Amino acid sequence: MSLIRYQAPELTPWPAPDRWNTLRDELNSFFELPLWSSFPRAGQLFTGWSPALDLHQSTDNIVAVVELPGMRKEEIEISLHDGTLTISGERKRESTDGEKAERTERYVGVFRRSIALPTRVDASKVSATYHDGILIVTLPKAEEVKPKQIQVS
């Protein structure tokens, strides 16, 4: 038995790139139809709720800003595991006795949003605030990843 190094098979010729571009443009233009563009976040229909998340980095902190409109503070869970920040929770429907929803675009139910952090953080010093439907999680960087000046003596 001989051990032969795996070789990638020859690439079969794909259609010329410009054909793909045309196809992509056509697909894009489909999603740019007025119907789709005026329907907010059409993608959520299929994927549930994935709240918009921004990540900022300064010398001392990583700050995550998440748009979570209409939640209660107690319903938001923040966890840190293996360098991944996870924000999860459940948005409950208000009482629906004798009421019917005419149209619902707002997501109701469980959501979960994770993001890998670029550096190590000090899990014991993480803090969070929630105002106007925006969650801000401040994660101080771990001491060993902060830039340090070393003086030559």
Partner 1 sequence: MNTLTRENRDADRAQTEQFIVPPSSVIEGSDGYTLEVEMPGVNKDALDISIENNELTIIGRRSLPKIEGTLIHHESRPENFRRTFELDPSIGANKISAKIEQGLVTLTLPKAEHVKPRKITVS
When the beta carbons of 52 and 123 are compared against partner 1, the nearer one is 52
Of 132, 148, 150, 152, the one binding partner 1 (CB under 8 A) is 132
Question: Any contact of residue 112 with partner 1 (CB under 8 A)?
Answer: no
Of 78, 107, 122, 128, the one binding partner 1 (CB under 8 A) is 107
For residue 107, count other CB atoms closer than 10 A to its CB: 16
When the beta carbons of 53 and 78 are compared against partner 1, the nearer one is 53
CB 126 within 8 A of CB 140: yes
Looking at residues 38 to 97 of the shown chain, list those that interact with partner 1 (rule: CB under 8 A).
38, 40-41, 44, 52-59, 61, 63, 65, 67-72, 96
When the beta carbons of 82 and 99 are compared against partner 1, the nearer one is 99
Say how many residues make up the chain.
153
Cβ 11 to partner 1 shortest distance, Å: 33
Question: Any contact of residue 100 with partner 1 (CB under 8 A)?
Answer: yes
Nearest to residue 51, comparing CAs of 5, 122, 109?
109
Report the distance separating Cα 54 and Cα 47, nearest Å.
19
Sign of CA dihedral 44, 109, 116, 135: positive
**In angstroms, how far is the first alpha carbon of the chain from the final one?**
62
Of 8, 11, 101, 150, the one binding partner 1 (CB under 8 A) is 101
Q: What is the 3-state secondary structure (H, E, C) of 35-65?
A: HHHCCCCCCHHHHCCCCCEEEEECCCEEEEE
Question: Any contact of residue 115 with partner 1 (CB under 8 A)?
Answer: yes
User: Which stretches of the chain bind partner 1, using CB under 8 A?
Assistant: 34, 38, 40-41, 44, 52-59, 61, 63, 65, 67-72, 96, 98-107, 115, 118, 130-134, 136
